[in-house]
Amino acid sequence: MTLRLAVTGLKGQVVSALIERAPKDVEITALGRPQLDLGLRHAVLANLRHAGCDAIINAAAYTAVDKAESEPDVAMRINGEGAGHVAEAAAGLKVPLLHLSTDYVFDGALDRPYREDDATGPTGAYGRSKLAGEQRIAAVHGDHVILRTAW
C-alpha cells in the first residue's frame, strides 16, 4: 500500500532530503511557492485538497531569523497564520499533520535540552511567529505532531 504525503516547503533542505530518502511505497507531493503561499488561506486549502494525501508534513517556513526582526509581519504571516492554514487543511481532510518548528520558541536560558513541557518564551520575532503557528495548529487540529528542531 502506498502512503501519499503532501509536503510543504518544496525548495527546503528537509524536503529535499525527504524526497531523496523516501521509500518506494511513499508517494510525495511537494508543494512550494509560487503556487502555495502559506499566507493565502484559499491557496493552502485548495492545493492541499488537490494533493489527495494520507498525511501532511509542514516543512515550509520563513527561516530568516535575523531578518524577521525587521519584517515581523511577514514572519508571522508565514509561520503563524500559514501554519494555521495548513492545520485547517489537514483537519478538513481528516489527515494527520507533522509540523516542523524550532527551539527558538524557548528563551535559550536552560543549561539542559528542552522538553516538550518546558515553558516557552521566545525572545525574537522568528520564535514568536513559530510559537504562534504551534498554537494555531493545536487550536485547529487535534491530530498533529509538532517537532521542534535545532540546527
Q: Are 70 and 100 in contact (CB under 8 A)?
A: no
Q: Which residues of the chain have pLDDT under 50?
A: none
Geometric angle at alpha carbon 142, from 9 and 114, rounded to 5°: 70
* CATH of residue 128: 3.40.50.720
Domain count, the chain: 1
pLDDT of residue 99: 98
Q: Work out the percent of the chain whose per-residue pLDDT is above 70.
A: 100
- Burial code (b: 16+ CB inside 10 Å, e: under 16) for 44-75 equals bbebbeebebebbbbbbbbbeeeebeeebebb
In which domain, by residue range, is 71 found?
3-149
Residues classed as catalytic: 126
pLDDT of residue 56: 99
pLDDT of residue 29: 96
pLDDT of residue 60: 96
pLDDT of residue 97: 99
pLDDT of residue 146: 98
Q: What are phi and psi of 5, to 5 degrees?
A: -110, 135
Geometric angle at alpha carbon 105, from 134 and 17, rounded to 5°: 75
- pTM, rounded to two decimals: 0.95
pLDDT of residue 150: 87
Phi-psi region of 96 (alpha: psi -120 to 50; beta: other; left: phi over 0): beta
